Homo-oligomer: A and B are copies of this chain.
C-alpha cells in the first residue's frame, strides 16, 4: 500500500517549509498583521494543492488496485477513507 515518493509533492512541501520560515521572519520583523495572515492563507492554499496531488496518486494506485481487486472489505475501506478525507477537507 506504499509507493515511490512523488518528487513534485516533495518539492512543494519544501517550498511550503520555506514559506513558513518566511512568515516567521515577517513576524519577527513586526510585519503588518494582515500581510502575515495573507501569507498564511497562501500557505494553506499551497498545502491544499499538495493534498490534491497526493490524493491523485492515491486514486491512481491504491484505490484503483483495491477497487479492481476481489476483496469487498478492502474496497469498502478505501471508499470510507475517501469520504473521511473529503469531510475533513476545508476544515483547516
Q: How many residues of A contact B (CB 8 A)?
A: 64
Main secondary structure of the interface of A (DSSP, over half): helix
- Cβ B2 vs Cβ A27 within 8 A: no
Residues of B near A17 (CB, < 8 A) are: 17, 20-21, 24
Residues of B near A48 (CB, < 8 A) are: 44, 87, 90, 92
Bound complex: CA A52 to CA B82 (Å): 10
- Cβ B30 vs Cβ A40 within 8 A: no
Closest to A79 in B: B59
Task: Give 10 CB contacts A-B under 8 Å.
Answer: A2-B31, A9-B27, A10-B24, A41-B88, A41-B91, A45-B91, A63-B67, A82-B82, A90-B90, A90-B92
